[in-house]
């Protein structure tokens, strides 16, 4: 039996793009599994948390703030509305727009999502100490910010 058949080539393992995309696979799996426990998905959390923080918004604004395509917002809001977590009402001041608002049930669902998502964070960063986690978050935030405005 040859030593370690699972070791990744150095050219790959050292590249930031590799590290980020591979870790994203785990991050996505962890958060998706958490969301699935309460019958939700990633796009739902984006919508609900945006509504909670900024209040009722048009779908276009929801998309801009949660980094979603307009068409994906439509589908997510449809599902959330079917579940009674959001309400869609026409904007009287602009008849192109819908105003999407968070319901009571939606706020409770958001609490549940926050809890399972919090556990996912812990699992993702399990090997890091508290200070290292803060450093990582700081560096990732700076980097992401740069690409958001570019």
- Say whether residue 8 binds a second copy (CB under 8 A): yes
Give the β-pairing of 86-90 and 98-102: antiparallel
Half-sphere exposure of 137 (CA within 13 A, CB side): 10
CB of 123 to DNA, least distance (A): 14
Close Cβ partners of 113 (under 8 Å, ≥ 6 residues apart) = 34, 35, 38, 40, 44, 45, 48, 49
Cα dist. 128→28, 55, 64, 107, 121 in Å? 18, 35, 32, 31, 11
- Say whether residue 100 binds a second copy (CB under 8 A): no
CB of 81 to a second copy, least distance (A): 20
Residue 70 interface partner, choices a second copy, DNA, none, CB cut-off 5-8 Å depending on type: DNA
- Say whether residue 142 binds DNA (CB under 7 A): no
| Radius of gyration of the chain from its Cα atoms, rounded to whole angstroms | 19
- Say whether residue 49 binds a second copy (CB under 8 A): yes
Site for DNA in 79-108 (CB under 7 A): 88, 94-98
Q: What is the 3-state secondary structure (H, E, C) of 83-128?
A: CCCEEEEECCCCCCCEEEEECHHHHHHHHHHHHHHHHHHHHHCCCC
Residue 38 interface partner, choices DNA, a second copy, none, CB cut-off 5-8 Å depending on type: none
- Residues forming contacts to a second copy in the complex (CB under 8 A) are 5-17, 19-24, 26-28, 30-31, 45-46, 49-50, 52-54, 61, 64-67, 114, 117, 120-121, 124-128, 132-133, 135-137, 139-148
Q: Report the interface residues with DNA, using CB under 7 A.
A: 21-22, 25, 28-29, 32, 41-43, 58-61, 67-75, 77-78, 88, 94-98
């Amino acid at each position: 039996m040859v030593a370690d058949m699972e070791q990744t080539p150095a050219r790959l393992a050292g590249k930031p793009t590799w590290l980020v995309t591979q870790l994203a696979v785990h991050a996505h799996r962890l958060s998706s599994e958490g969301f699935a426990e309460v019958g939700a998905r990633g796009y739902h959390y984006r919508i609900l948390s945006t509504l909670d923080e900024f209040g009722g918004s048009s779908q276009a604004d929801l998309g801009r703030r949660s980094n979603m395509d307009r068409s994906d917002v439509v589908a997510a809001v449809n599902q959330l509305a079917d579940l009674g977590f959001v309400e869609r009402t026409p904007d009287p001041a602009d008849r192109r727009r819908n105003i999407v608002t968070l319901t009571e049930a939606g706020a409770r669902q958001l609490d549940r999502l926050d809890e399972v998502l919090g556990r996912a964070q812990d699992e993702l960063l399990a090997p890091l100490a508290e200070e290292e986690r803060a450093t990582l978050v700081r560096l990732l935030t700076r980097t992401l910010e740069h690409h958001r405005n570019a």
